[in-house]
Structure 1
């Protein structure tokens, strides 16, 4: 039973990654697996459940990428390494990235602890400050979307822009005074 669910999610992900979100339908997943569409409903009740499973895969993949960047960092700021890993994951998996980050996150369907695992490397890099972590994520998300949408002029030094952004967040913060 678990094997069939994994096959369904893998087929859905292949459709998503190769053909985009429009290609992910119960009928197309079933066709890819060589089964009848009603058989899918024994494992996942609807397309929303398929998308939730894909969001979990996207979040797990991003967590793995960030953990690897954190573990493999030899020198340089941790935030820059995490930003580079985030960007690379999004650019390598644009449809999965968008499904995971551009829609409401199906938190109830996520494996326990997955969301916390995905944010943990960033929280460590910013000294546990959740507000700064959210601001960094918003910066990274915006940069990725602009890049995926081709909104930067040709020849733009995006690596330099990423470095400038992560460097700005790494500047010591002082409380505002009146």
Structure 2
């Protein structure tokens, strides 16, 4: 990592986006545990003190990053199901959820990891998290053709989120080793097929 970036003048109004952008880049390089205010400030070309004008501490910066991650996830999940038949929606949204996790592993681990577990919940992060989950709830409501506030939708949405999150986490952390002839994509497709069949069975039963 280049530490020879020269310090430069900055405008308070545009420094924060630069810090966030640099933090996101470094997050995927070093992970949330090793991300530091000092390293970010050096790459942007300002003092660490300047960073603290925008973020009280590392936890606050991480909260902002996680909020952006959930906002991006919300967008991805919302767009992927447009124009999709209702019986295939859960399979599509689950696949996109996992693809997001695989494409942004460090961000994903930050969003659901322990780094922010003991810090005060940032209202922006809380809202972003709820908004992302609401997309899943609405998808389930569409599939089941039930009110989004119903018990059936709430239970099914939790099951769907847990399924996608669990499989994504197992894959990211390499919890189990796949035989050479079996690809990660094949495992995902098989798992999604099974999950989709459960959804269809429920619809047929209804």
Q: Do these two structures clear the TM 0.5 threshold for a shared fold by scoring above it?
A: yes
Relative to structure 2, which stretch is displaced further, 35-44 or 111-120? 111-120
Matched, 1:162 2:192: yes
Stretches of structure 2 lacking an aligned partner (at least 5 in a row): 1-11, 142-147
Instruction: Please identify the structure whose Cα radius of gyration is greater.
Output: 2
Alignment of 1:55-134 (within 5 A): 55-71=66-82, 73=84, 77-103=88-114, 104=117, 107-110=121-124, 113-127=127-141, 128=148, 129-134=153-158
**Under a length normalisation based on structure 2, what TM-score does the superposition of the two structures give?**
0.75
CA 1:2/1:77 → structure 2, altered by over 3 Å: closer, same or farther?
farther
Change beyond 3 A, Cα 1:14–1:69: same
Figure out how many residues of one structure are paired with residues of the other and give that number.
175
Q: Matched residue of 2:157: which SS? A: helix
Deviation larger for 58-67 or 116-125: 116-125
Instruction: Provide the rounded CA distance (Å) in 1 between the counterparts of 2:55 and 2:65.
Output: 12
Q: Which residue number corresponds to residue 63 of structure 2?
A: 52
Uncovered stretches (5+) of structure 1, i.e. residues with no partner: none
Cα RMSD over matched residues? 2.4
